[in-house]
Amino acid sequence: MADFDLVVRGGTVVTAERTLQADVGVRGGKVAEVRAGLPAGATEIDARGKLVMPGGIDSHCHVEQRSSSGVMCADDFYSASVAAAFGGTTTIMPFAAQHRGDSIPAVVDDYAKRAAEKAVVDYAFHLIVSDPTPQALQEDLPAMVKRGITSLKIYTTYELLRLKDDEVLDVLLAADRERALVMVHAENHEVIQWIARRLLERGHKAPKFHATSHHPIAEAEATHRVISLTRLLDVPALIVHVSGIEAIEAIRAGQKLGASIHAESCPQYLFLTADDADKPGLEGAKWCCSPPPRDARSQEAVWQALKDGTIGIYSSDHAPYRFDATGKLPHGEATTFKEMANGVPGIQARMPLLFSEGVGKGRITPNEFVALTATNHARMYGIAPRKGTLDPGADADIAVWDPQREVTLSASMMKDNAGYTPYEGRTVKGWPVQVLVRGQLVVDDGRLLAARGSGRFIPCGTPAPVARAGERRDNAAGAFRRLIDS
Ligand code: DUC
Ligand code: ZN
Ligand code: ZN
């Protein structure tokens, strides 16, 4: 009998910490041994000339989710997870979304059933909390944490999702008590609405005005405000989809003051700018998401922040809406920038874009690539060391990358249901040619091998946002906290 079920042989193994020439032996779906010269496996993958890396974790993607305005996104768990796998991602973390009036347990039960039937990669869930009632925060949140859902997203914008500052404080305090992590969509709603109203009054309806209304100062103000609220309570939070210079400056300032503030960015802020939405007619709607892509200086600032650790998480914020009445164009040709569904697809392109432009152009190392696309997510959301590493004992979630393979991105190769890609026509160098989940081949050189429903739910443990250097106040343990939280 062979020593291993599978050996991935002869590749360059890259993890967040190290790079070595080694074979990876898999037994029972787990990494069993990593060293050169392993004995034969029952099956073998020839990885000579290839990079053998942990499969990606996409900890921010919208899948089979209804928006607050009632629009269903274009992907279900099957299409989104297939697209993820073809792009080298082996775990996805979408959102079970509580809309106002919804019962959180009912939302999660429904979402879990949908995922179990369809996903081909592993998955964990975050909550979205838009109705932070005592029931939600005191009863449902602790029950969800026990169930393995230990992170939740809140919003400062979108009419039907946004929380007021006192509600943000309620959520931060309750989450801290349960050791859950709060993710925040930080944009100033009233500033956005005010600009949008004035633009529309002046006849400016085209998609490009979406970026004008979602001004970087609206993002920076809300980011600063949310960080201030976390400092008041001395609790952690993660600012999602950071788009550029202004928000990054606010995050750096908070981190310097000792705030436990963590940050995420996404491909649209590295590889797109606001100019992409400036197209004839409504075409530009395909490039509209919130916050919007900014400019070349902001792209550089995001690269710098990924490099220096200000931003530790690189996710897709995949939010697929079709270019028709079901998504981007609810009023057909008459649709204004205020009425389009917000979001861009990116679950498949996320890792190849960063590999090509980041590793390929020397902006980040291969180890940093693994940290930013997998390992940091696993630690942040409490699924390490099961996910995000190739250490013995971890799930054998492996992506074998051909660093020389050139691929031109196009809608026709994307497995999601958006029907377009904002990266159409870009050529990337480096591609995940084999992708395994728990030792099973899911994608083999362009062929899907996994069955619908083969992905598993991964319960999250306690999030471990890495503490950053800086002065910490002692509000959490001190008299202030006792006064307001006893
Ligand atoms: N903005 C969000 O807040 N979520 C989904 C996509 C988007 O553009
Ligand atoms: Zn958001
Ligand atoms: Zn999002």
289-329 tens-digit pLDDT = 999 999 999 999 999 999 999 999 999 999 999 999 999 99
How is residue 289 written in tokens?
């998401």
Task: Please say if the pLDDT value at position 42 is more than 80.
Answer: yes
Q: How far is the CA of 318 from the centre of ligand 1 (A)?
A: 8
Task: Please say if the pLDDT value at position 411 is more than 60.
Answer: yes
Q: Which ligand is nearest to the CA of 319?
A: 1
Q: Is residue 433 part of a domain?
A: no
Residue 465 has what pLDDT?
Answer: 75
Over residues 276-299, mean pLDDT:
98
What Å distances lie between residue 478 and 59, 120, 222, 240, 481, CA to CA?
Answer: 33, 47, 27, 29, 6
φ, ψ for residue 220 (rounded to 5)? -65, -40
Q: Please tell me the residue having the least CA distance from ligand 1 atom 3.
A: 290
Specify whether the CB–CB gap between 311 and 242 falls below 8 A: yes
Burial of 70 (0-12, 13-18, 19+ CB in 10 A): exposed
Confidence of residue 478 (pLDDT cuts 50, 70, 90): confident
Residue 466 has what pLDDT?
Answer: 58
φ, ψ for residue 433 (rounded to 5)? -90, -30
Q: Is residue 63 part of a domain?
A: yes
d(CA 460, CA 448): 27
Q: How far is the CA of 478 from the centre of ligand 3 (A)?
A: 35
Q: Is residue 173 part of a domain?
A: yes
**Residue range 334-365, pLDDT digits in tens:** 999 999 999 999 999 999 999 999 999 999 99
d(CA 319, CA 463): 24
Over residues 67-76, mean pLDDT:
95
Give the CATH number, domain containing residue 162.
Answer: 3.20.20.140
**Residue range 422-449, pLDDT digits in tens:** 999 999 999 999 999 999 999 999 999 9
Task: Please say if the pLDDT value at position 473 is more than 80.
Answer: no
Q: Is residue 319 part of a domain?
A: yes
Specify whether the CB–CB gap between 152 and 177 falls below 8 A: no
Q: Please tell me the residue having the least CA distance from ligand 1 atom 1.
A: 290
* Percent of the chain whose pLDDT exceeds 90: 95
Average pLDDT of the chain? 96
Shortest-distance atom of ligand 1 to CA 288: 8
Q: What angle do CA 174, 180, 183 make, to 5 degrees?
A: 95
Q: Is residue 315 part of a domain?
A: yes
Specify whether the CB–CB gap between 131 and 100 falls below 8 A: yes
Write the single-letter amino acid at 112.
A
Residue 59 has what pLDDT?
Answer: 98
Range of the domain at 151: 55-373
Q: Is residue 4 part of a domain?
A: no
Q: Is residue 242 part of a domain?
A: yes
**For residue 183, which of 161, 216, 214 has the smallest C-alpha distance?**
161
How is residue 149 written in tokens?
């859902």
Maximum C-alpha span of the chain: 76
Bridging pattern class, strands 427-437 and 398-408:
antiparallel
Task: Please say if the pLDDT value at position 470 is more than 50.
Answer: no
Sheet with 56-58: strands ordered across: 56-58, 89-92, 122-123
**Residue range 180-200, pLDDT digits in tens:** 999 999 999 999 999 999 999
Task: Please say if the pLDDT value at position 171 is more than 60.
Answer: yes
Write the single-letter amino acid at 178.
E
How is residue 268 written in tokens?
């649209």
**Residue range 110-122, pLDDT digits in tens:** 999 999 999 999 9
C-beta atoms surrounding 2 within 10 Å? 14
**Ligand 1 residue neighbourhood (C-beta within 6 Å):** 62, 185, 289-290, 317, 319, 342-343
Q: Which residues contact 438 (CB under 8 A, 6 or more apart)?
A: 29, 30, 122, 395, 396, 397, 456
Assign 318 to helix, strand or coil.
strand
Assign 401 to helix, strand or coil.
strand
Confidence of residue 474 (pLDDT cuts 50, 70, 90): low
Q: How far is the CA of 288 from the centre of ligand 1 (A)?
A: 9
Task: Please say if the pLDDT value at position 467 is more than 80.
Answer: no
Tell which one of 342, 347, 416 to mutate to probe ligand 1, the residue whose CB is within 8 A of the most ligand atoms.
Answer: 342
Assign 38 to helix, strand or coil.
coil
Task: Please say if the pLDDT value at position 477 is more than 90.
Answer: no
- Using the 8-state DSSP alphabet, how is residue 351 labeled? H
Q: How far is the CA of 56 from the centre of ligand 2 (A)?
A: 20
What Å distances lie between residue 433 and 40, 136, 154, 405, 425, CA to CA?
Answer: 22, 43, 36, 9, 20
**Residue range 209-268, pLDDT digits in tens:** 999 999 999 999 999 999 999 999 999 999 999 999 999 999 999 999 999 999 999 999
d(CA 342, CA 318): 11
Quote the number of domains for the chain: 1
Q: Is residue 190 part of a domain?
A: yes
